[in-house]
């Protein structure tokens, strides 16, 4: 199918011309001279390019892509969640926007445990139902980015309108998305609006059916006219607060009014002479990535085969130590003293590296968090945008688990997050993703949950932009981003090969590693097991998305072969 090159054409073709199920097959990498969008859905990528064609910059386009994904990628795209946006301007300045969700004002430390101290399961838990949601930050973050870093050549309403049209007119469902609705029916059907919209009240969607979301279209219409104020103080805010109150949720009008997106100082480090910029706490991704890279920098990784057991052994051992420190030190910096600069220092990496045996696995029971004495950071979607002037946006946002809390707010079509599980429902005990978190990340009012999202930008040694990427997949995000960065720097891969290469993952606890069976040979995993490593599962280690600029000035957009999505350039 010929690629659609304008927003009007894309909406028209999808709505009225294409035979059912005849959407374009995903393209893994694309080259373009002017600009590029790499996202998990073709329509969203097309919308971003169209905004740039109208004169918008990468920030304007990134907002439009995020709003479109809230319509066409409902399992992760959202306005009912939050995330992080990393911006590099054409002048080489970096800006980090934290629009992570916040715990409601009525949240308490032990709200997700019963009288016996056991985790509540099902409704009322930190993962499912109305109480699982933090106050969403997506629209506040997008509006902050638009006002400070947008081009001023397109209006806010022009940016929102394409998503509104997608919700109003509908779009054709792929087999993947139709099947995914059914796969989550056991929990989606517990909530009337989710059951009606995504499960069609039991008359399940099939590949080629059209999903129309009129309630969400009305919300986007108001947001387009009135800005984020509608979501936090207007009609939409009232609908959210009323539905929460009627169903035992904690989010109130006051919580929505009090939400604030923040700019934070980006976290900066280096690997083999290349400057790397990513998000600071409450993202833990940069902390873990930099600490791991700092440990590995002393080894001759470039001379090791990319898929060798010795390389994976060192990756596992370095990651084990970095994730142990994550469990102890990482948290919302507005609530805890996070020693970020110490954790990502080269000297601290030296002390952690000294405990690694290059021929034998450690035990996570023996590897505790390190001694930092000085004090001073699965399911998601990531997209990357670059424009003709060299502005770049790396954005990761989420509602946590697929379909979040499974709750859709009555009268809005907004699917809410279950980000309260990223706070420590029981400090010292594993969450949905098996991550253990300490007292610093306990549930407190207005606290932002710890995150693994790792939007990242890497520069060439001369300081010019080289590539940007991020990933989806819970804590595995960190491993996917970090190993992709290493593949480019250590093994001279281009962005698509770096993203598609096989990966491993270890997060300290549980004390086992994940190896991708599709790319890592049984001989390699057997060698790792013989060294004392414990093989856990063989599933995918997240899925990544990125953009690279080659030496001739062309943008290269890359979509992970493990996932769906399309890169679109112009």
Paired strand residues for 415: 408
Place of tokens 């981003």: 481
Measured CA angle at 153 (ends 150, 159), to 5 deg: 65
> Could you give the CA distance from residue 191 to residue 263 in angstroms, rounded to a whole number?
35
Please state whether the peptide bond connecting residue 282 to the residue before it is cis, i.e. omega within 30 degrees of 0. Answer: yes
The SS3 assignment for 23 reads coil
- Which phi and psi (to 5°) does residue 228 adopt? -65, -15
Looking from the CA of 346 toward its CB, the CA atoms found within 13 Å total: 7
Measured CA angle at 155 (ends 150, 158), to 5 deg: 115
Contact between residue 395 and residue 454 where contact means Cβ atoms under 8 Å apart: no
CB atoms within 10 A of CB 509: 17
Residues in Cβ contact with 132 at an 8 Å cutoff, skipping those fewer than 6 apart: 125, 126, 404, 405, 407, 416, 417, 418, 419, 420, 421
Q: Hey, which bits of 379-475 come out as E strands? A: 380-386, 392-398, 456-459, 465-472
* Burial bucket for residue 195 (CB in 10 Å: 0-12, 13-18, 19+): middle
The SS3 assignment for 213 reads coil
SS3 content of the chain, % helix, strand, coil (to 5): 35, 15, 45
Q: Which of 103, 100, 102, 165 is nearest to 138 (CA)?
A: 100
- Which phi and psi (to 5°) does residue 224 adopt? -65, -40
Q: Which of 65, 94, 83, 28 is nearest to 470 (CA)?
A: 83
User: Helices H, strands E: what count in the chain?
Assistant: 19, 18
Paired strand residues for 264: 96
> Could you give the CA distance from residue 520 to residue 522 in angstroms, rounded to a whole number?
7
Residues in Cβ contact with 81 at an 8 Å cutoff, skipping those fewer than 6 apart: 101, 136, 137, 138, 397, 398, 399, 400, 404, 416, 417, 419
> Could you give the CA distance from residue 357 to residue 374 in angstroms, rounded to a whole number?
27
Q: What is the DSSP letter of 57?
A: -
Contact between residue 353 and residue 370 where contact means Cβ atoms under 8 Å apart: no
H or E stretch covering 210: strand 210-211
Place of tokens 């990223």: 422
Compute CA 67 distance to the chain's CA centroid, rounded to the nearest angstrom: 15
CB atoms within 10 A of CB 116: 5
> Could you give the CA distance from residue 43 to residue 65 in angstroms, rounded to a whole number?
9
Catalytically annotated residues: 380
């Amino acid at each position: 199918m010929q690629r659609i090159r304008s927003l009007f054409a894309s909406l028209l073709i999808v709505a009225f011309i294409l035979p059912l199920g005849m959407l374009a097959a995903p393209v893994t990498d694309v080259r373009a001279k002017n600009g590029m969008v790499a996202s998990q859905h073709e329509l969203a990528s097309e919308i971003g390019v169209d905004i740039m064609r109208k004169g918008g910059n990468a920030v304007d386009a990134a907002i439009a892509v995020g709003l479109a994904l809230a319509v066409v990628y409902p399992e992760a795209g959202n306005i009912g969640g939050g995330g992080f946006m990393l911006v590099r301007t054409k002048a080489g300045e970096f800006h980090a926007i934290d629009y992570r969700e916040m715990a409601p004002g009525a949240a308490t430390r032990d709200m997700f445990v019963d009288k016996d101290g056991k985790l509540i399961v099902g409704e009322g838990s930190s993962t499912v139902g109305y109480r699982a949601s933090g106050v969403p930050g997506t629209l506040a973050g997008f509006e902050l980015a638009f006002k400070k870093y947008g081009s001023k050549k397109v209006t806010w309403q022009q940016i929102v309108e394409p998503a509104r049209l997608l919700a109003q007119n509908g779009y054709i469902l792929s087999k993947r998305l139709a099947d995914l609705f059914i796969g989550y029916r056991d929990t989606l059907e517990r909530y009337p609006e989710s059951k009606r919209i995504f499960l069609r009240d039991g008359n399940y969607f099939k590949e080629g059916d059209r999903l129309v979301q009129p309630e969400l279209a009305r919300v986007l219409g108001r947001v387009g006219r009135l800005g984020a104020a509608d979501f936090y103080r207007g009609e939409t805010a009232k609908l959210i607060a009323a539905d929460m109150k009627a169903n035992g949720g904690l989010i109130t009008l006051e919580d929505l009014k009090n939400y604030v997106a923040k700019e934070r100082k980006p976290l900066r480090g280096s690997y083999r002479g290349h400057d790397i910029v990513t998000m600071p706490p409450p993202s833990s991704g940069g902390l873990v990535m930099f600490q791991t890279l700092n440990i590995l920098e002393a080894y001759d990784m470039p001379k090791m085969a990319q898929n060798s057991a010795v390389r994976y052994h060192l990756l596992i051992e370095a990651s084990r130590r970095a994730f142990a420190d994550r469990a102890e030190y990482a948290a919302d910096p507005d609530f805890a003293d996070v020693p970020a600069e110490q954790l990502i220092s080269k000297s601290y990496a030296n002390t952690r590296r000294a405990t690694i045996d290059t021929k034998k696995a450690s035990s996570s029971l023996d590897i505790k968090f390190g001694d930092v004495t000085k004090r001073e950071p699965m399911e998601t979607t990531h997209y990357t945008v670059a424009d003709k002037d060299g502005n770049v946006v790396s954005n990761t946002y989420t509602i946590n688990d697929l379909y979040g809390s499974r709750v859709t707010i009555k009268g809005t079509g907004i699917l809410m997050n279950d980000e309260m599980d990223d706070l420590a429902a029981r400090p010292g005990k594993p969450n949905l993703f098996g991550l253990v978190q300490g007292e610093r990340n306990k549930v407190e009012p207005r606290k932002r949950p710890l995150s693994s999202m790792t939007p990242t930008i890497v520069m060439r040694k001369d300081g010019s932009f080289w590539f940007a990427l991020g990933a989806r997949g819970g804590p595995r995000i960190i491993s996917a981003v970090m190993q992709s960065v290493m593949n480019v720097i250590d093994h001279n891969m281009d962005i698509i090969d770096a993203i598609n290469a096989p990966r491993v993952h270890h997060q300290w606890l549980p004390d086992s590693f994940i190896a991708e069976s599709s790319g890592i040979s049984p001989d390699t995993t057997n060698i790792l097991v013989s060294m004392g490593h414990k093989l856990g599962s063989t599933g995918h280690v997240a899925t990544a998305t990125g953009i690279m600029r080659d030496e001739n000035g062309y943008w290269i957009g890359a979509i992970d072969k493990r996932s769906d999505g399309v890169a679109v350039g112009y």
